[in-house]
Amino acid sequence: MLLIQNGRVLDPYTGLDEKRDILIGDDGVIQSVAPSIAPAAGGTVFDAAGLTVAPGFVDGHVHFRDPGQTEKEDLHTGAAAAAAGGYATVICMANTLPTCDTAAQVRRVREETRNEPVEVLQAGAVTMGLKGQTLTDFDALAAAGAPCLTDDGINLTSAALCREAMARAARTGLLLSFHEEEPSLVPSPGVNFGSEAAKAFGVPGAMAAAETAMVARDIALALDTGARVLFQHISAAQSVALIRAGKALGAKIYAEATPHHLSLTEDDVPAHGTLARMNPPLRKEADRQALLLGLADGAIDMIATDHAPHTAAEKAREFASAPSGITGLETAFSVCNTYLVRAGHLSEMQLIEKMSKAPAEIYGLTGRAIAPGNFARLALLDFSCETVYRTYRSKAQNTPYTGMQLHGAPRGVICGARVESN
């Protein structure tokens, strides 16, 4: 038995925001949630005084680079980073080497992470080898446990193939998740087109229209086919407006935003260099404000980190040839608490909703409320401390947030009767 005492329970499923004790059985199932529970003889007690206990975060968008690029991250270090960040469940993208486009590969990740402190799910690819030509076996990937299919990192450029993918996915309700950047409108990736940063680094950059044009196309196709479609890491104001309009039209569409697009802009890129190089790029303050509004009014459903580890040597290259992306699992809560909650855009409850309940529901993960009968998947959070990140559990350190003064910190996760506290 594990008794979590003295914590503040903050649960968007039940609306509860009160001090509660939580008793978890040896099977990991929550037995009771009450104002005061006496410790049982022989049981373990975890004192959560000063901490908030919330439904564990769900990150629908991480890159653990396993197989193929495990010098950057692997399933084990990725899971450790997730646990440190308060994540109970993560979904790995399919752009591994080789590409995760078969049921056996999806099952391998589940099997190899069975003993990790967090649940690691694996997305399947939409097209074989992410080549945008031949669709994968959707039913086999879903049966193997893929919570969504995605060619993340690469735009699905053929509208006809995209429509075929949606028509096929719509038959079973399988979620398709799209990285929207029309390649011909991305003369060079990683930085906003025409920005001062692009000029300083001597590259043209990636147009916002590269994203909005694809979002517009895929809203039309989602309406046409009835498919469930998720727009990944939305960065541009017009994309938010299109998604809002698409939802009003009845499209079954969802959108995620990253902590970095919600907190930084193109003006931050010169100071951070390759640590602020990402696809889609950081855009203008007006875009960031539109993302914040979209998050608050529901146009943007959830927060996803796009945790993208790279080696120090790769990020030490000059801007034009460095890889895009930053790590995010360990800093996400602090960044979001600082830039979303402290800045007055979301309440603490809304932040938990965007990081746990909304993604869980979109990916079909049930039983996540802090309530008797549910398997315990809990985040331990401190909303009030001051935090400066210096070191990470991830193999990679490529984040612009190192050394920044942030507010609040994740303190780990409880998965079943197992406590992984930082």
Catalytically active residues are 306
Q: How far is the CB of 306 from Zn ion (least distance, A)?
A: 6
Question: Nearest-CB residue to Zn ion?
Answer: 179
At 404, is the secondary structure helix, strand, or coil? coil
Residue 97 vs 271, nearer CB to Zn ion: 97
| Closer of 152 and 420 to Zn ion (Cβ) | 152
Question: Smallest distance, Å, CB 259 to Zn ion?
Answer: 15
Smallest gap, in angstroms, from Cβ of residue 152 to Zn ion? 4
Please say which residue, 179 or 407, places its beta carbon nearer to Zn ion: 179
Which residue ranges make up the site for Zn ion (CB under 5 A)? 152, 179
Q: Which is nearer to Zn ion, 152 or 348 (CB)?
A: 152
Q: Distance between CA 410 and CA 381 in Å, rounded?
A: 4
Q: Taking the complex as a whole, how short is the minimal distance between the CB of residue 254 and Zn ion, in angstroms?
A: 15
Q: 312-318: long-range contacts (C-beta < 8 A, 24 or more apart)?
A: 312/397, 312/398, 315/274, 315/275, 315/398, 316/274, 317/274, 318/201
Q: What are phi and psi of 44, to 5 degrees?
A: -95, 140
Tell me how far, at minimum, the Cβ of 154 lies from Zn ion, in Å. 8
Phi/psi-derived region of residue 76, left when phi > 0, alpha when psi is between -120 and 50, beta in every other case: alpha
Q: Whose CA is closest to 56, among 26, 28, 88?
A: 88
98: cis peptide before it, omega within 30°? Answer: yes
Report d(CA 124, CA 103) in Å as an integer.
Answer: 8
Instruction: Please state whether the peptide bond connecting residue 67 to the residue before it is cis, i.e. omega within 30 degrees of 0.
Output: yes
Find residue 21's DSSP bridge partners. Answer: 34
CB nearer to Zn ion: pick between 101 and 152: 152
